[in-house]
């Protein structure tokens, strides 16, 4: 019983990490398409809220 719980927990963690990575990649593409200038390593090193802010700022640059 314990092993099945550990397996389930591991699978859930993998799915969550994949979802987070997909969201980061999506934000990165939007960021670069809107003229963002930092490279991927710098963008990826930011926290998720800061990544969202970088995307928002890049979107604003496109409007000017």
What pLDDT, in 10s, does the model give residues 14-30? 777 788 888 999 999 99
Q: What is the CA radius of gyration of the chain?
A: 16
Q: Where are the domains of the chain?
A: 24-64
- The string of DSSP letters for 19-50 reads HHHHHHHHHHHHHHHTT--S-HHHHHHS-HHH
What pLDDT, in 10s, does the model give residues 5-64? 677 677 777 777 788 888 999 999 999 999 999 999 999 999 999 999 999 999 988 776
Residues 6+ apart with CB under 8 A from 40: 28
């Amino acid at each position: 019983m314990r092993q099945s719980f550990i397996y389930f927990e591991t699978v859930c963690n993998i799915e969550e990490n994949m979802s987070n990575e997909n969201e980061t990649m999506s934000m990165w593409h939007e960021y670069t398409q809107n003229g963002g200038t930092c490279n991927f390593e710098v963008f990826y090193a930011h926290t998720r809220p800061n990544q969202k802010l970088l995307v928002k700022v890049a979107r604003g640059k496109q409007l000017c």
